[in-house]
Each structure stands twice: as structure tokens, then as C-alpha cells.
């Protein structure tokens, strides 16, 4: 039996893709618009997607589909409940960016704690050139050593953050779920983490429970000197509330790699910020060449396991 595999958004992955070990037809589409999905998945056994939405309406029109191989960890683009009800296996990628994402998060943490963007602005404005002494004291500099990192989400990425934090001499608090009735051993109540941490880093999935988990109330709980890092999902944070908190200096800074809508064609409150205490990168924390190759290798592993009758990394 020859399997028909269709990758709907191949341009989302820069890596060498090895051929699966079974008889197959592999079709790549660099990008796929919503109105092209059904036609492109006609007669497909296996769909590979990164950000293309596979809703129940679309899946109802692709009766031959037996597997969806998500080339990412997050699966909110797929109607998993529909798939479960109709026998479609959904597999995702796990633990591939355990170095890439924490490194990116720490890059932003260091830049914000040490005021990198502010110093660059001062140099452009000629302040050092006009100084009376060898250095400037126009902006505060803070060490990571001895500070407290609050982790919201403690999967593989959270563990990666914990390891780097130990190397920097940081104290780590792991946040319990928001509104949890019981705080598990080794965890700290969500609100307590917000109050105590010098840096909050988000590594939680986007679910109905986590949407806007950080809004005005939560930002008001944070220290005025605290910074917020988000390399997870844009909708974990109320972006308008964050923009206001940064402009009013309610918190000291933020570093974001994600927005609520990507790409942000209709604008976004965070795009309008031109502040030395805010860093925005275009959803690239995961995308080191090494991480993308691990992703590609695992993607084919997932497909081969499904065809062999032993599905792995199944999302339920």
C-alpha cells in the first residue's frame, strides 16, 4: 500500500527531511490558504501541518485522512475532539527545542535586566560621547544572579529554563495552576509567584483555562521591577493590558516572541510600542537550525510509527 502524505506548509520548516521507510507519495506545498486545504488533502492518508487550521468542517470533507502529523508541539490548530471521534490519529513534536527556547528566553532576560536597548539608545543620542567620566549611570543594571525566576508551565521547556537558571545562580519558583485548590509539593501558588519573582517566564500551552492568564490583575501583582517573558503563545497575555503596564512603567519590562495573531497583519498593541524596556521577536525562539532538524527527524519518526501500527506522541 502506498501512503499519500501531504505537507501543507513546508515553508514553516528549514531542515532536511528524510524519506519515510515505507512506500509513499510525498507532496509539499510551501503554503496553503484556508480555501485550498480540502482540495490538497483529497485522497491523502497523512497530513503534515504547522499552522494550517484543520477544523471539524474541513476534516469532515477529508474522509481518507488517517493521521495528522503536527510539525510543532502546540495542537490548537487541530480539532482534536473531532479526530478522536472519527479515528484520526494526531501526533505532535516533543522536546525538540529544549535548548533553543530557553536560550532565547534568557537572551531577552539578560537584555532587559541589563538594559541593553536603553544603552544602545543612549549611544545613538551621544550621551557617552558627552559624558564627564568613563561610564554612564543613566539606566539601572541588574544581575540575574540572586534574583528569582518564576516559571509558569513546567514541561520540558520549563525544565530547560530551570537548568539555565541554576547556572546563573537564580532562585526558581514553579507556579501552580491558576485558581488551583491545592498546591502540589515543589510548586508555589500562582499569585505568590507573581508577587515574588523578579522574572516571570511563560511556558504553558494555550487552552481556554490559560487564555489571558496574565491581564491587569496579574500585572498589578508583579513587582514594579519585574519583567515578563513569553515564548509560548501570545494569547496567554492580555496584550492591551501589557502595553499599558509597560507605558505606565507598572512593570520594568517584557520580552515577547509571540503575538495573539501571527503574522499580525491587522496590527497589535505590542507592535506600536517603541520602548527600551520591550523586546519583540517574530516567533523564532524555537527555530535554531539544530532544533528544526530535530523536529524534522521526529516528524518522520512519528509518521513511520503510525504506519507501523504503533503510533507515538499521540495527542488525546
Annotated catalytic residue 203: no
CA distance linking residue 91 with residue 316, whole number of Å: 9
Across the beta sheet with 3-7, what order do the strands follow? Answer: 24-28, 3-7, 46-49, 67-70, 89-91
Among the listed residues 233, 239, 289, 290, the single catalytic one is 233
Among the listed residues 262, 266, 294, 304, the single catalytic one is 262
- Angle, in degrees to the nearest 10, between helices 100-113 and 116-124: 50
The count of other CB atoms within 10 Å of the CB of residue 243 is 19
Q: What's phi and psi for 39, nearest 5 deg?
A: -65, -40
Annotated catalytic residue 283: yes
CA distance linking residue 141 with residue 138, whole number of Å: 10
Among the listed residues 4, 86, 283, 312, the single catalytic one is 283
Annotated catalytic residue 265: no
- What are the residue numbers of the active site? 233, 262, 283
Amino acid at each position: 500500500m502506498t501512503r499519500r502524505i501531504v505537507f501543507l506548509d513546508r515553508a514553516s520548516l528549514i531542515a532536511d527531511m528524510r524519506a519515510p521507510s515505507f512506500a509513499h507519495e510525498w507532496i509539499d506545498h510551501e503554503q496553503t490558504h484556508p480555501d485550498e486545504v480540502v482540495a490538497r488533502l483529497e485522497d491523502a492518508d497523512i497530513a503534515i501541518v504547522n499552522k494550517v487550521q484543520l477544523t471539524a468542517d474541513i476534516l469532515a470533507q477529508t474522509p481518507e485522512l488517517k493521521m495528522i502529523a503536527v510539525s510543532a508541539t502546540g495542537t490548537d490548530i487541530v480539532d482534536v475532539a473531532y479526530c478522536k471521534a472519527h479515528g484520526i490519529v494526531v501526533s505532535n513534536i516533543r522536546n525538540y527545542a529544549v535548548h533553543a527556547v530557553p536560550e532565547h528566553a534568557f537572551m531577552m532576560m539578560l537584555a532587559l535586566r541589563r538594559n541593553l536597548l536603553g544603552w544602545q539608545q543612549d549611544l545613538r543620542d551621544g550621551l557617552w560621547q558627552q559624558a564627564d567620566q568613563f561610564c554612564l549611570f543613566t539606566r539601572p543594571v541588574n544581575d540575574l544572579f540572586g534574583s528569582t525566576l518564576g516559571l509558569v508551565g513546567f514541561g520540558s521547556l520549563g525544565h530547560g529554563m530551570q537548568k539555565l537558571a541554576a547556572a546563573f545562580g537564580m532562585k526558581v519558583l514553579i507556579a501552580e495552576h491558576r485558581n488551583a485548590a491545592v498546591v502540589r509539593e515543589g510548586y508555589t501558588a500562582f499569585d505568590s509567584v507573581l508577587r515574588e519573582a523578579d522574572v516571570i517566564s511563560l511556558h504553558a500551552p494555550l487552552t481556554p483555562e490559560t487564555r489571558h492568564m496574565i491581564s491587569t490583575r496579574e500585572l498589578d501583582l508583579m513587582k514594579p521591577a519585574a519583567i515578563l517573558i513569553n515564548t509560548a503563545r501570545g494569547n496567554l497575555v492580555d496584550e492591551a493590558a501589557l502595553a499599558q503596564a509597560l507605558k505606565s512603567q507598572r512593570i520594568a519590562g517584557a520580552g515577547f516572541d509571540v503575538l495573539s495573531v501571527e503574522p499580525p497583519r491587522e496590527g497589535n498593541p505590542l507592535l506600536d510600542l517603541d520602548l527600551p524596556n520591550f523586546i519583540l521577536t517574530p516567533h523564532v525562539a524555537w527555530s535554531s537550525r539544530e532544533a528544526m532538524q530535530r523536529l524534522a527527524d521526529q516528524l518522520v519518526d512519528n509518521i513511520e510509527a503510525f504506519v507501523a501500527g504503533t503510533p507515538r506522541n499521540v495527542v488525546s
